[in-house]
Amino acid sequence: MFDIEASLDSRLLAEPRNRPTVVFPEALDARTLEAACFLGRFIRPVFLAPEAEVRALATHALAHLGADRVAYTLSEAAYLEPASRPDLIEAFAVACLDWCRVNERPMCIEAARKLVAEPGRFGIWAVKLGHADMVVGGAIHEPKAFFRPMVELLAHRGVACETGVFVLPDEHPEEVYPHNIVVFGDVGVNASMTPRTLAEVAVGTCAVARDLIPEDVLPEIRCAMVSYSNRGSDEGPSPELVRRAADLVPEILAERIKHSARYGSIHIRGEVKVSVALSRRSADLYHAEGLPWEGGPNVIVCPNLDMGNLLYNLYATRFPGARKFPVMFGLRFQGVDLPMDCTPEDIRLAVKASVMRLHAYGEWQRTPKDTFFRRHRVLVLNPGSTSTKTSIFEGDEERFSEEIQHPAEALKGFEGRPITEQFAFRKEAVLRVMAAQGLGLEDLDAVAGRGGLLRPIPHGTWSVGPAMLEDLRAGRRGEHASNLGALIAAELVAGTGKPAYIVDPVVVDEADPKVKISGLKELPRRVISHALNQIATARRYAEEHETFYERINVIVAHMGGGITVGAHRKGRYIDVNNGLDGEGPFSPQRTGSLPPGQLIDLCFSGKYTKAELKLLNKGRGGLVDLLGTSDLREVERRVEAGDAEAGLVFEAMTYQIAKAITGLVPAFEGTPLDAILLTGGMARSSRLVGELCRLTSALGCDVKVYPGENEMMALAKGALRVLSGREAAKDYPPSN
């Protein structure tokens, strides 16, 4: 049996996309709420019901789903009682009156307000006016209260069709429908039937099938347009009407193919008897008539509403294990109509299918209006030694990014001076970039800067305030370009009343005291790491599994110019090697932990100065010292060319990373490990990833790969969590 849900999931997750806003007017139907709990990675749900009632229903009816999944979905949703938004009701009522005038259906404003305040109508108007992208209903609404107004208000060019997609279980004879997949198209949605309408319905139904079923599963979409009788449209299309529609199909299909070549695999045959279309005889009969395919149809356009409903219910009853769901064609993917006897699985499949088609056409980018999910605008700053990365985020979408390069001659005047003296120079560079984008400070909701070398603090988003600025200006914990992030952010928002934040700086320290004890009292371990990407990667894994950072156990290996391997236990970053000083595995540029006795001898050998040793430790160590390059790709090319030395060094580095990963198991104190997460630039190496998977397989958990550092997104998301009310900003310094 073809796993259509796995197919939809893999295609939806194949590339990062914005999530459409989907309105659920029937939020207090347990089936609908259960389905929504499996859709968090694909949509932003809006429940048209009081939050307390939705949560009470979840507690009562959804205990079998697991607390994490339900809690995550509810935390990601928006809740709205239509009556609580008189502004929207008024806007919808005015639009409703305009529509009624155009369609010659007189209505007064009071009646319009009452009508659009009903959750089903409210959801439809929210989509029509751009406040949301899709509305899902019909499970408890009668057709006249949801389906009919949805089609009337959202239909594109007046032609709509409801299709029923079935993946039948293996016990169904496969010779009837290839791969036991069949799609029924229902012409009865349209009030009057013309040859063009029928042709549009046939092509649209086939397009649904082509969009949802991969070509390696069904290479061809074969459609049979069923004729019903010679009595005309009362009982369905007559043979004559079907013949005329078939003549129009090539023209309409050609327009589809212009949009996408994938529709070239569609073949439509008109005037087929229903007894033939649904039988084992179809394959032989079609072949004898010289049709351009071998075997039977996989799309059947039904002659009327009654037959469409009959076939849907017949197959649903006869094969309860079938995967089935409805899809609307002709509504620009904006509406999902559910049968009243639908299951939670039917609902989630219907929503996923509609979302996939929304993305497949490539026209939808994001919800037109941010009524239900505010898209806060955040300026993100990440100062480096010779550049300042600058991005503008609207919500979690990066709308603009530029890495401002600071030439050596421009920085020459700052040599030997505190990093803070570059503050005005870099701030002006950022303001020039904003001006070039037509943005002023009044256009921002917040600024998030890269955190610098501060006192040890817990993870989270921190408000930039006087104490933090004082520590950074004084440089008490060290000089680094990242110290400028908070300074510039604070200056940009000064006097505006808007917040400035830093997120998870390198000094995040949540390790237990036992972690910091070394064998020499004078040398306790310091915790300095790639905290921003470490925690952001762990959060991303949690989101992908529809849970929270506070509920997972993961080991994250950040592998870049430096390597840090950290343990994250239930929302605490409890152990990590000091990557800044070179502790841990050796890396492209750092020596890693060294034999202490030999290191002491080397320090006093007179061969190197203190400065030279520090440079060897960080900058000229690791792959640079061993192989003369910091480029892992170059090392891999040498390995592939048979360079034995390069092969041994690569093997040694991989072994040390794996040993650092497995060495963190005690940090979880016997609780199960959910996953190992590999990130940083070196995570792009399939050779390295493959070896690490092999060497850590004894831990018995998944290994997930998130290449790159993703710092700008991590900074933006930290600010957005606070702006959206999901997290409270912390005040520096921490009280403890």
What type of residue is 486? A
List residues bridging with 137 in a β-sheet.
337
The parts of the chain modelled with pLDDT lower than 70 are 158, 188, 190-191, 228-237, 272-295, 303-304, 736
- Coil, strand or helix: which one is 146? coil
Q: What is the DSSP letter of 18?
A: P
Distance of CA 116 to the CA centre of its chain: 32
Report the sign of the C-alpha dihedral through residues 168, 174, 179, 182, in that order. negative
How many CA within 13 A on the CB side of residue 478?
14
Residue 355 host element (H or E) = helix 344-360
According to CATH, the superfamily of the domain at 156-330 is Isocitrate/Isopropylmalate dehydrogenase-like (3.40.50.10750)
Residue 335 host element (H or E) = strand 335-337
Q: What pLDDT does residue 177 have?
A: 84
C-alpha distance from residue 322 to each of 169, 188, 339, 345 (Å) = 6, 24, 15, 11
- Residue range 531-708 forms a domain whose CATH class is alpha beta
How many CA within 13 A on the CB side of residue 329?
29
Helix, strand, coil in percent for the chain, rounding step 5: 45, 15, 35
Helices and strands (H and E) in the chain: how many? 27, 23
Structure-token pair, residue 473: 């200006």
CA-nearest of 251, 168, 152 to 202 is 251
Q: What pLDDT does residue 193 have?
A: 77
What angle do helix axes 632-640 and 644-662 make, rounded to 10 degrees? 120
Model confidence over 369-417: pLDDT tens digits? 999 999 999 999 999 888 899 999 999 899 999 999 988 888 888 887 8
Structure-token pair, residue 34: 């259960």
Report the sign of the C-alpha dihedral through residues 291, 297, 299, 304, in that order. positive
Query: What are the DSSP calls for 378-438, one per residue?
Result: EEEEEE-SSEEEEEEEETTEEEEEEEEE--HHHHGGGTTS-GGGGHHHHHHHHHHHHHHTT
Model confidence over 546-588: pLDDT tens digits? 999 999 999 999 999 899 999 999 999 999 999 888 899 999 9
CA 553/CA 673 separation, integer angstroms: 5
Q: What pLDDT does residue 734 have?
A: 87
CA 611/CA 616 separation, integer angstroms: 9
Structure-token pair, residue 11: 């295609």
How many other C-beta atoms are found inside a 10 Å radius of the C-beta of residue 63?
Answer: 10
* Domain spans, the chain: 19-152, 156-330, 377-509, 531-708
Report the sign of the C-alpha dihedral through residues 113, 115, 118, 122, in that order. negative
**CA-angle at 21, arms to 16 and 23, nearest 5°:** 145
Question: Which residue matches tokens 């094969």?
Answer: 319
Under 8 Å between Cβ of 131 and 157: no
Spatial neighbors of 240 by CB under 8 A, at least 6 apart, are 230
Structure-token pair, residue 499: 């917040």
377-509 and 531-708 have identical folds:
yes
CA 431/CA 433 separation, integer angstroms: 5
Under 8 Å between Cβ of 280 and 203: no
Structure-token pair, residue 94: 């005015």
C-alpha distance from residue 683 to each of 333, 559, 628 (Å) = 37, 7, 21
Report the sign of the C-alpha dihedral through residues 545, 550, 553, 554, in that order. positive
CA 126/CA 290 separation, integer angstroms: 49
Establish whether the linkage from the previous residue to 666 is cis, with ω within 30° of 0: no
Q: What pLDDT does residue 231 have?
A: 47
- Residue range 19-152 forms a domain whose CATH class is alpha beta
CA-nearest of 426, 433, 414 to 450 is 426
Establish whether the linkage from the previous residue to 219 is cis, with ω within 30° of 0: no
Query: What are the DSSP calls for 583-618, one per residue?
Result: -SS--SSB--S--HHHHHHHHTSSSS-HHHHHHHHB
Under 8 Å between Cβ of 328 and 190: no
**CA-angle at 475, arms to 474 and 477, nearest 5°:** 130
CA 51/CA 69 separation, integer angstroms: 17
CATH annotation of 377-509: 3.30.420.40
- pTM equals 0.89
